[in-house]
Amino acid sequence: MAGALVLAACGGDGSANSTAAPAETSTTAQNQSTVNGTVTVYTGRHYGIEPVFEAFTAATGIKVRFTTGSDPQLRERLKAEGKNTPADVLMTADAGSLALAAADGLLASLDSPTLTAVIPEALRDPDGRWFALSRRARVIMVSDRVAEADQPTTYAGVGDPAWKGRICLRPATHPYTQSLVASLIKGEGTQRAEEIVSSWVANEPTYIDSDTKILEAIAAGECDLGITNSYYLGRLISDKGSFPVRLVWPEQADGQRGVHVNISGVAVTANAANPAAAQALIEWLATDGQQQFADVNNEFPANESVSPNKILQTWGSFRVDPVWVGEFGRLQAEAVMLLDRAGYQ
């Protein structure tokens, strides 16, 4: 977990069953010929997940049933259901949620040479309880109206008084905000992290509980900058061809920490009824299905042998904060308290 990673950009609640037409046979499928049946997934990752599951079914013959919800909702549901849960797999949109689920005893430990070979150490649990499938960079987004020379280049820079009344941020209740602040606590120390968050609050931000809506507000002139996950801009560019907001990779100067990168990750539940099929799904998503899983939502692959898609490539390379993503769960409660002290809504 030591050393900075560099990502080079080159190189509704409910359930459903997924089926698909035959597709090209996968390497993972050939190694899972004795695994069958249905795997049930609780997923906090909503965007584009159904076609990925359909491709897995086509490659392996294993059917997928899935239920969507927020990460905290699904974690609490697993707790309440206990041994009676139908879930074989928990998939989340945030590393902190996986770390908390592991701490609560909700996840099984996997012995998977396949996963340890392709998922970097900084992006998985040391005890094999969860693994990243994609990386989600949380970055500064700036209106094209703002001169590049004036744009902030650090998370602390968002708190410069010049931006008072001009920023849009996600609320304190969202895991993305909590994990970002947890990373500040880990990297900067509690006192400095609180100073940074307090400076954001002093700039009287508009709180919007949607990264897409934050980007749309920037485009509409309702604010000039915000902090969002990079893939939301990728989706808007994919849909519209262009969008009047640009991405800034923060913390890139010598001595700075690097971009805060969260993950979308996955685990086998402790009470899985079909753990073999669950492991087959996770291994397939990390290997044969990795390109589709990452590309469908414009995310960076966790498997470093897989290249980012063309939209991501246009954004160039960047240095990543090397902190182990499991820290986001360990420090979540402290982050929530810091946000409250700072008056962040």
Provide the residue ranges of all domains of the chain, joining segments of one domain with +. Answer: 5-135+262-310, 136-260+321-342
117-268-92-43 Cα dihedral, nearest 10 degrees: 130
Divide the 345 residues of the chain into consecutive groups of 10 and give the mean pLDDT of each group. 38 33 35 69 92 97 96 96 98 95 97 97 97 98 98 98 98 96 97 98 98 98 98 96 97 97 97 98 98 96 96 96 95 98 98
* pLDDT, position 242: 94
* pLDDT, position 298: 96
Please check whether residue 293 is in contact with residue 148, taking contact to mean a CB–CB distance below 8 angstroms: no
- What's the CATH number for 5-135+262-310? 3.40.190.10
CATH class for the region spanning 136-260+321-342: alpha beta
Distance CA 200, CA 182 (A): 15
Same fold flag, 5-135+262-310 and 136-260+321-342: yes
* pLDDT, position 46: 83
Whether the CA torsion 223, 135, 122, 333 is positive or negative: it is: positive
Summarised one tens digit per residue, pLDDT across range 138-192 is 999 999 999 999 999 999 999 999 999 999 999 999 999 999 999 999 999 999 9
**CA 71 to chain CA mean position, Å:** 11
Summarised one tens digit per residue, pLDDT across range 281-327 is 999 999 999 999 999 999 999 999 999 999 999 999 999 999 999 99
* pLDDT, position 107: 98
* pLDDT, position 239: 94
